[in-house]
Structure 1
Amino acid sequence: MVTVNGRFPGPRIVAREGDRVVVKVVSHVPNNISIHWHGIRQLQSGWADGPSYITQCPIQTNQTFVYNFTITGQRGTLFWHAHISWLRASVYGSLIVFPKHNVSYPFAKPHKEVTIMLGEWFNADSEAVIRQALQTGGGPNVSDAYTFNGFPGPLYNCSANNTYKLKVMPGKTYLLRLINAALNDELFFSIANHTFTVVEVDATYVKPFETSLLVITPGQTTNILLKTKPIAPNASFYMLARPYFTGQGTFDNTTGAGILEYETSSNSTTFTPTLPPINATNVVANFTRKLRSLASSQFPVNVPQTADKKFFFTVGLGNSPCPKNQTCQGPNGTKFSASVNNISMALPSSALLQSYFFKKSNGVYTSDFPSFPLHPFNYTGTPPNNTLVINGTKLVVLPFNASVEVVMQGTSILGAESHPLHIHGFNFYVVGEGFGNFDPNNDPKNFNLVDPVERNTVGVPSGGWVAIRFHADNPGVWFMHCHFDVHLSWGFKDGMDCVGWDTPQPEASSSTI
């Protein structure tokens, strides 16, 4: 397996808001690789964003690349990970950004801070897994376990001795920084016999609320305050992570576990929390609707009240024809594909930002990505007869400082499921969500333009839609994609070009987001 400095998960990076971060990456593996700093906005440092073939060519064997960026206006829990193929399965680590000196949290200082990275483990080379799936056109083999900070835990037959244990003192408050680094699964998380308070998501503070269960998609982070019991019980408590899944394909139907135990306890009994059914979409919706920005004088919201540019993107699965003289294992003998507005993105042979900067973008990409579906249909009803996707490297151009609204509509083609959408280079406000087909006449009337949650990754509801708004205030070429790496591999991605002028010049007219 590929690791960073011989560690899994990789080393933690700690900085403060306003710090300059310089990371030298030297590749000693045969794979091409690049590193993405997930959630860092990369203001005027798009070259350091990291997705291969978008902002840089990948780092080759025995080659070096230096990432150099400044963390501006951000603080909280983020993470870094490989951004090519499926190397993210093992190449990831936490990125903790503390507030500036003498700036406190908007809550009481905790007794201790703990980072918990939720991941997936493959008893195989993850690169071989996705390579085989792309060759056959079928679904890839799923992971063998979920992990807590790299440990599968006691609920798997072979790993009882490989368990993450969080030791706590009674009557104390702990800040747990949860990161979902899993490759392809949204996760429920709960701690037996304990409640906790959600205070931050994706490195932005939220109005605190108490819960005993949370949902976290790949790419998302959630900070919780855990207040331990006043007297240490003679027991230990499972912390469980299990997938939320509504699709038709295969998935890892197991449960990862860590153990919470009190330092002065005999731990004679271990309690287990009750998790919802795997397809509990209503539970997911109830949780996400509780998230609201703090919207205080110190941490105000800046959600666009109107939108200069509006986009309606259908997101989901489809298929592509099987090549001649080949047998494919996808739907009806085809290959699985994924798309946005029926466009399945083909990665270019040279990086988009590089080709744009050196004015060599002709033939690399085009700027005619459709703002709305070319052929509208009942998105959450009976699928259309033709489910084939179109392949291409097409981008969207955003004028600098435009206010942007994007409605992402899930589809029922080849099964309705949720999709965690991540946008590089921007945070965005989640102004609305719902089930069924988005109604452009009535649904915007219910948008939250007062205290919507601010995120960098959002789950498009299974069989529903989500609406986001943001200011295009960060010039560059930016990636939007599903954070299920299997869907990313199938083409579920799009590029954005935020140009630094209001009227695109000739070169910009051939580039996109």
Structure 2
Amino acid sequence: MSIRGKDVFSGITLLLFGFLACFTSSEAAIKKYQFDIQVKNVSRLCHAKPIVTVNGMYPGPTVYVREGDSVLVNVTNHAQYNMSIHWHGLKQYRNGWADGPAYITQCPIQTGNSYTYNFNVTGQRGTLWWHAHILWLRATVYGAIVIMPKQGTPFPFPQPYREQTILLGEWWNSDVEAVEKQGNQLGLPPNMSDAHTINGKPGPLFPCSEKHTFVMEVELGKTYLLRIINAALNDELFLAIAGHSMTVVEVDAVYTKPFTTESILIAPGQTTNVLVQANRVPGRYFMATRTFIDAPIPVDNKTATAILQYKGIPNTVMPALPQLPAPNDSVFALSYNQKLRSLNSLQFPANVPLKVDRNLFYTIGLGMNSCPTCVNGTRLLASLNNISFVMPQVGLLQAHYFDMKGVFTTDFPDQPPSPFNYTGAPLTANLRTSASRGTRVSKIAFNSTVELVLQDTNLLTVESHPFHLHGYNFFVVGTGIGNFDPAKDRIKYNLVDPMERNTVGVPTGGWTTIRFRADNPGVWFMHCHLELHTGWGLKTAFVVEDGPGSDQTVLPPPSDLPPC
């Protein structure tokens, strides 16, 4: 059955249908969804404006599936922009055609056309999400993916009474695509967002927004599972609930060793599941989120709020605000991330690669290139190993699969061209040394093990960067501040129960090491999940070669793959 949220069910009924379908199926099933990309007027922050939506909903509908299901999502584009949808965190084994990043695994769906994303959910359960993967359209085009475990497989933590999806986002009063375009033309960062949101609403701390507040009702003595997603374009966020602690039990759809915290830190692209006990004096309590930023750059530092309200408490009771960490509390950020450990149980082991076949070291750089038409005569760009990635005009996966010549090269360097003191004194003298621009990728042998060190640098400024790898989970085996020292830092790696995830933060002025096994053939994007930096070129891709077996090669492309 195809679900059409805009003309058959209300948004609530759509979510309920998907939820019930997931729970009533006793074995693997085929789940079908219809996504209609359309423009709708939405009122926030005192006025309404047209935004691009899915099925007229902001945020978009939740996709409910069970581990082992097959999923068909037909996307029809009625908007004026070309569109593609990325299923963030789904591994898409051999099936990059369903991954979604425009000009990497597909050409975008043009206005008036459709494309059906057809994929299996294998070996994954938990909270992921979907979003537009072209331009800055994920500002309003995003939603949750909830993967329930197989029938008869309980959660490895206390069964919650109920669960709630919490989507953190950003809101611009202006057309976000016009904002981005203006910034690019001027050679400057685009205007920051006007508000943060919780489930699409900024909360009552903003003017004219009293009616735009998300409220979650709870019952005294019950335990609730919150599925939290950071869908913001450019901001790492703290989140806390006044008077209530949270027990972290999962990140990026991987179970964790549970730990309790007053606040969580979540970067763009990441998901975090927490248990919350409704064990306080019945009342109304603010859930609040604001930006974490420990670098001297301007950000939207406004606080968005929602309300956790005990059943039977009237709306006239004034909520209490939580105590969030200071916006630049890097000590909390490092401590919080160090607490994240894989569950590493018999049922959910952490299969960390112990032997490394390929060592990669990528430096993250920001700089300026000449731009005679820009305000200051320069344009900001970003690079990995001094290469600023240029998007091709056809999908890289098509070019790889059909052996098209001249689309990309496989000579992306494993190391930076010139080692230097990466996090020392500001290297402003080097800013105008143009980074090389090109569509250069790394070729990786099938089933080889890869260690990648991501090193922040002081080219222009140090800054934290959340990196997302498509097609894979990876293990975060080490992280630190300053320059990575292979002799000293490798012996400190956690190779027993490191956190497994798909998006990791590289700390400001520091480094992070990840390991993964390249057992998924195809072309897989890797990029900073700050949309600002992605647009400036902070991205690359891995071409993972086919394996020897017939079930270790890229699947043929679907017949309705969008043309360029």
Same fold (TM over 0.5): yes
- 1:129 corresponds in structure 2 to 179
- 1:368 corresponds in structure 2 to 411
Take 1:146 and 1:21, find their aligned partners in 2: how far apart are those partners? 31
- 2:37 corresponds in structure 1 to none
Take 1:226 and 1:327, find their aligned partners in 2: how far apart are those partners? 50
CA contact (8 A) 1:348 1:364 kept: yes
Q: How much does 1:264 deviate?
A: 2.3
Letter in 2 for 1:7: M
1:270 aligned to which of 319, 327, 347: 319
Could you report, residue by residue, the CA deviation over 1:125-176 in whole angstroms, capped at 9, with x for unpaired residues?
Answer: 1111111111111011011111111111011112122100111000000000
Take 1:327 and 1:260, find their aligned partners in 2: how far apart are those partners? 47
Take 2:325 and 2:458, find their aligned partners in 1: how far apart are those partners? 23
- 2:519 corresponds in structure 1 to 473
Q: How much does 1:271 deviate?
A: 1.1
1:441 aligns with 2:487: yes
Q: How much does 1:116 deviate?
A: 0.5
- 1:505 corresponds in structure 2 to none
Take 1:194 and 1:122, find their aligned partners in 2: how far apart are those partners? 31
Q: TM-score, normalised by structure 2?
A: 0.86
Take 2:194 and 2:375, find their aligned partners in 1: how far apart are those partners? 24
Letter in 1 for 2:228: L
1:296 aligned to which of 345, 355, 371: 345
- 2:393 corresponds in structure 1 to 349
**Fraction of identical pairs, as percent:** 53
- 2:262 corresponds in structure 1 to 212
Q: How much does 1:265 deviate?
A: 2.5
1:252 aligns with 2:300: yes
Could you report, residue by residue, the CA deviation over 1:369-399 in whole angstroms, capped at 9, with x for unpaired residues?
Answer: 0111001111111243222322110000110
- 1:404 corresponds in structure 2 to 450
Could you report, residue by residue, the CA deviation over 1:312-361 in whole angstroms, capped at 9, with x for unpaired residues?
Answer: 00113112111x3x1334xxx4111111111110000111001111111x
1:53 aligns with 2:96: no
Q: How much does 1:77 deviate?
A: 0.1
Take 2:213 and 2:474, find their aligned partners in 1: how far apart are those partners? 36
CA contact (8 A) 1:139 1:250 kept: no
- 2:288 corresponds in structure 1 to 240
Could you report, residue by residue, the CA deviation over 1:468-493 in whole angstroms, capped at 9, with x for unpaired residues?
Answer: 00000000000000000010111110
Structure 1 residue ranges (4+ consecutive) displaced by more than 3 angstroms after TM superposition:
none
Change in CA separation of 1:328 and 1:368 when aligned onto 2, cut-off 3 Å? farther
- 1:327 corresponds in structure 2 to 374
Letter in 2 for 1:262: Y
What does residue range 299-314 of structure 1 map to in structure 2 within 5 Å? Answer: 299-314=348-363
CA contact (8 A) 2:361 2:415 kept: yes
- 2:143 corresponds in structure 1 to 93
CA contact (8 A) 1:338 1:487 kept: yes
Q: How much does 1:274 deviate?
A: 1.3
Take 2:261 and 2:325, find their aligned partners in 1: how far apart are those partners? 14
SS in 2 for 1:109: coil
Could you report, residue by residue, the CA deviation over 1:219-245 in whole angstroms, capped at 9, with x for unpaired residues?
Answer: 000000001116x42x31110100011
2:70 aligned to which of 13, 20, 26: 20
Gaps of 5+ in 2: 1-50, 549-553, 555-564
Take 2:380 and 2:330, find their aligned partners in 1: how far apart are those partners? 24
CA contact (8 A) 1:24 1:65 kept: yes
- 2:504 corresponds in structure 1 to 458
Q: How much does 1:258 deviate?
A: 0.4
What does residue range 29-178 of structure 1 map to in structure 2 within 5 Å? Answer: 29-178=79-228
Could you report, residue by residue, the CA deviation over 1:234-292 in whole angstroms, capped at 9, with x for unpaired residues?
Answer: x3111010001133332112001001110123463421111122111111001000000
Could you report, residue by residue, the CA deviation over 1:28-53 in whole angstroms, capped at 9, with x for unpaired residues?
Answer: 01101100000000002111000000
Take 1:319 and 1:63, find their aligned partners in 2: how far apart are those partners? 38
Take 2:418 and 2:449, find their aligned partners in 1: how far apart are those partners? 26
Q: How much does 1:501 deviate?
A: 4.1
Letter in 2 for 1:96: V
- 2:560 corresponds in structure 1 to none
SS in 1 for 2:486: coil
Take 1:447 and 1:224, find their aligned partners in 2: how far apart are those partners? 26
Letter in 1 for 2:423: T
CA contact (8 A) 2:392 2:407 kept: yes
Letter in 2 for 1:377: F
- 2:8 corresponds in structure 1 to none
- 2:239 corresponds in structure 1 to 189
Gaps of 5+ in 1: 503-507, 509-513
SS in 2 for 1:132: helix
CA contact (8 A) 2:185 2:374 kept: no
Take 1:228 and 1:327, find their aligned partners in 2: how far apart are those partners? 54
1:282 aligned to which of 308, 325, 331: 331
Could you report, residue by residue, the CA deviation over 1:424-483 in whole angstroms, capped at 9, with x for unpaired residues?
Answer: 000000000000000011100000000000000000001100000000000000000000
CA contact (8 A) 1:313 1:341 kept: yes
Take 1:141 and 1:9, find their aligned partners in 2: how far apart are those partners? 22
